[in-house]
Amino acid sequence: MASSHSEAAKMEQIITEFFAKSIHIILESRALSVSSRSSCLDQAISSPCSSSSSSPSVRPRDKWFNLALRDCPAAIDNIDLLRRNNLDFIVIDVILVQKPLGWDPMSLSPKRVLPRSSSLKERYPFSWNTDQEELGLDTNTEKIVERWVVQYESRKTRDSSSGTRRSSNVSLHALYKKSTLLLRSLYATVRLLPAYKIFRELNSSAQIRPFTLAHRVSSFCEPFTRKEEAEMMKFGFTPVDASSGRLCLSVMYRPSASDVSSEPSTPLSPQVITDYVGSPLPDPLRRYPSGLPSHGSPSSLPFLRRHSWSHDHWRASPPSITYSPSPTYSESHTSISNASSRRLPPSSLPPHPTEMSLFQKKNSGFDECYPSPSPSIYYPGSLPSKPLLRSESAPVSIPNAEAAVSPGYPNTNRHNLPSTAPLRGLRCVSKNDRGVNTMQTGATAEKLFPLGKDEPRKYSGIKISACSSPQSSNRSYQDDFDETDFSCPFDVDDDDLTDPGSRAESFDHGHMAEAFEAGGFLPIRKSQDAAVGALVRMLKKAPPLRQDFSTSEHLSHSTCPETWNANNIQALEAPVPASMMSSGLTATRKTTTDALEEFHGYREMKNLLLTRGSKPQI
């Protein structure tokens, strides 16, 4: 009896360690490293590429499942909490936080020193590390790109297990071996998913990015809507049987997550220019199907430019950025790529299917591709003077976006950005709004989450009985872990549940710092801003787009404003900015000559079109 009891205890310990290791593996490759925390923890994350073999000493933690991991403060904090609470169900959400248009690191910095209010803890009694809330909840958009679920599924009905499974008496060795195998595959999988690319990008470069990664470890989760779920792919690891249940691990991930982090350095063939310059020609009438004349003032320059830019975006301009990986360029997107709001305008102009597919192929730099810093330019329906009117513009775009999603574009399409992005943006906005509200009413919010309070109690109750027995091991089970939960299990219950705040606060600062410093935003802010400003000025001062062609276009110039009509505009406007983009931004690249050739060819064609088009008007 005693031996079986200790077996059960060991099994419990394996399960707990499995949870800990899983969290560690996931967060090690998702939680951005924090320089500010290195002082208190001997962590050695300098870059994700560094091999962990730099620390050759074997720590007890490493022996578990024979997998030595790098120190990861975020994981260690969570694992501590896990041990104290003995949860059997853990959700790790990896969240992509996109910074808004005008975000200013300095304006956010005061938040770093604000102590986290206890209301947050009350609101999420059993969630911790809600990093994204320190990033300026009210202005960022967030979207869950990965949801990991680690679960110990206890077998409630004993009888059914005996029939279907022979594992009712799983040996410790088998459990340990299988969990080891499962964790190996977890380790490999984590690095194959798209979010890893984002993590690497954020971690490796000191460049300002308009996005960051946050994570939330929690004992419960808000289920995805059907739509969200449809956008995500699922990978379920084969569960590992234990004596009274099984260890389950699964992940839902957004296959398109890495789209945000498209690198400007991606090499592209010059062929792209051909598409991009020439493509408006075959069917110039298909864009702006309706409603154009009703927006804005027809004669204003911004208006013209808006269409040219956004149109040109919407076509296939992204490749153009790849020719200018200069600092100026890459900084430009930090200021302008406000995720959701930026994407709205295209969705309000339902793209033609061929445009869609074209875009899907080439949207590698969607965010980066809005070259003008003035948001009003992009909003057909919003006031030009208000930069960020998500709440106004978002609803407008929903129907279009939905329409764009449905017809024949599989949700698994990695590059379905144009259609899905507005929706995500909208969801994020509403989430944020709600987040703000709950933050404000934090004192009462506790009632909203009664489950979170009860759940852990229940789980810890299950485990305590097992853990109270002496721990011994034939392997390295008896490591000098922080095993306070095992030695005095009855302390776990109420203390942790009712007064977790102090602990949480102690490391929340770190996370705050993590979120800001990992990407290295602060140190180089000034130069980045300056560069952005320079770009803005350049764009503002840029001559009207058609000026270069004024000799050939004087006819249409004069007729255009009066006979305002969408088709006319398209024919005139659409291609010009495209060529300007390519020639302007790629002046120093090898492909310039190609582009120029294309451009000349195109100009000829355009002139042809113009003369043809202007005949009836004259």
The single residue among 154, 165, 177, 487 that binds another protein, judged by CB under 8 A, is 177
Give the integer Cα–Cα distance in Å for 521 and 332: 14
Residue 350's Cβ-count burial label (10 Å; 0-12, 13-18, 19+) is buried
For residues 68 and 149, which CB has a smaller minimum distance to another protein in the complex? 68
Residue from 450, 364, 423, 410 nearest 228 by CA: 423
Two tokens at 482? 């922080």
What span, in angstroms and rounded, lies between the C-alpha atoms of 324 and 318?
Answer: 11
Does the protein bind another protein through residue 154 (CB under 8 A)? no
Tell which one of 188, 285, 488, 530 touches another protein (CB under 8 A).
188
Q: What is the 3-state secondary structure (H, E, C) of 27-42?
A: HHCCCCCCHHHCCCCC
Instruction: Of 301, 348, 339, 266, give the one whose Cα is nearest residue 577.
Output: 301
Q: Which stretch binds another protein (CB under 8 A): 62-70, 220-228, 337-345, 558-566?
A: 62-70
Query: Dmax of the chain from CA atoms?
Result: 102
Sheet holding 233-242, edge to edge: 127-128, 211-218, 89-98, 141-154, 245-253, 233-242
For residues 382 and 392, the answer to whether their CB atoms sit within 8 Å is yes
Please give the Cα distance from 331 to 151 (Å, whole number).
Answer: 42
Does the protein bind another protein through residue 21 (CB under 8 A)? no
- Considering only 4, 46, 66, 154, the residue that binds another protein (CB under 8 A) is 66
Residue written as token pair 């501590």? 80
Based on the shown chain and the rule CB under 8 A, indicate whether residue 178 belongs to the binding site for another protein: yes
Q: Which one, 178 or 307, has the nearer CB to another protein?
A: 178
The least CB distance from residue 586 to another protein, in Å, is: 16
User: At its nearest, how many Å lie between another protein and the CB of residue 233?
Assistant: 11
- Contact residue for another protein among 38, 180, 471, 567 (CB under 8 A): 180
> By CB under 8 A, is residue 187 in contact with another protein?
yes
Smallest gap from residue 204 Cβ to another protein (A): 10
Q: At its nearest, how many Å lie between another protein and the CB of residue 166?
A: 11
The minimum distance between CB 191 and another protein, in angstroms, equals 5
Q: Which amino acid is at 439?
A: M
Q: Amino acid identity of 221?
A: C
Q: State in angstroms the smallest separation of the CB of 253 from another protein.
A: 12
Stretch that binds another protein, among 60-68, 220-228, 505-513, 596-604 (CB under 8 A): 60-68
State in angstroms the smallest separation of the CB of 616 from another protein.
Answer: 39
CA gap 184, 180 in Å, rounded: 6
Q: What is the 3-state secondary structure (H, E, C) of 382-418?
A: CCCCCCCCHHHHHHHHHHHHHHHHCCCCCCCCCCCHH
Using the contact rule CB under 8 A, the part of the chain among 195-203, 340-348, 368-376, 479-487 near another protein is 195-203
- Beta bridge partner(s), residue 215: 94
Our measurement of the distance from residue 332's CA atom to the centroid of its chain's CA atoms, rounded to an integer in Å, reads 19
Comparing CB distances to another protein, the nearer of 237 and 599 is 237
Answer yes or no whether residue 448 interacts with another protein by CB under 8 A: no
Q: Tell how far CA 561 is from the center of its chain.
A: 42
Report d(CA 617, CA 336) in Å as an integer: 39
Degrees to nearest 5, angle at CA 550 with 546 and 551: 150
Nearest residue (CB) to another protein, 278 versus 501: 278
Task: Compare residues 189 and 411 and give the one whose CB is closer to another protein.
Answer: 189
Binding span for another protein by CB under 8 A among 92-100, 209-217, 266-274, 546-554: 266-274
Interface with another protein (CB under 8 A), residue from 41, 67, 281, 522: 67
Tell me the one-letter amino acid at 206: A
- Can you spell out the DSSP letters for 437-466? HHHHTHHHHGGG-HHHHHHHHHHHHHHHHH
Does residue 276 touch another protein according to CB under 8 A?
Answer: no
3-state secondary structure of 577: helix
With CB under 8 A as the contact rule, the residue among 60, 138, 173, 299 that binds another protein is 173
Task: Check binding of 237 to another protein (CB under 8 A).
Answer: yes
> Is residue 181 part of the contact set for another protein (CB under 8 A)?
yes
- Look at residue 212 and give its three-state secondary structure: strand
Residue closer to another protein (CB basis): 176 or 303: 176
Show the tokens assigned to 97.
Answer: 């936080």
Binding residues for another protein, total number by CB under 8 A: 35
Is 269 a binding residue for another protein by CB under 8 A? The answer is: yes
Residues from 69 through 108 that contact another protein (CB under 8 A):
69
CA distance 263 to 365: 7
Among 49, 113, 206, 618, the residue binding another protein under the rule CB under 8 A is 49
The residue from 62, 433, 479, 529 that contacts another protein (CB under 8 A) is: 62
Q: Is the Cβ of residue 171 or residue 430 nearer to another protein in the bound state? A: 171
**Of the candidate residues 5, 35, 48, 596, the single one contacting another protein (CB under 8 A):** 48
Q: Tell whether residue 603 is a contact of another protein (CB under 8 A).
A: no
Say how far apart CA 130 and CA 123 lie, in whole Å. Answer: 11
* C-beta separation of 355 from 312 below 8 A: no
* Identity of the residue, 178 or 216, whose beta carbon is nearer to another protein in the bound complex: 178
CB of 54 to another protein, least distance (A): 9
Is residue 589 a contact point for another protein (CB under 8 A)?
no
Q: How far apart are CA 485 and CA 493, in angstroms?
A: 10
**List of residues contacting another protein (CB under 8 A):** 48-49, 51-53, 58, 62-63, 66-69, 173, 176-178, 180-182, 184-185, 187-189, 191-192, 196-197, 200, 237-238, 240, 269-271
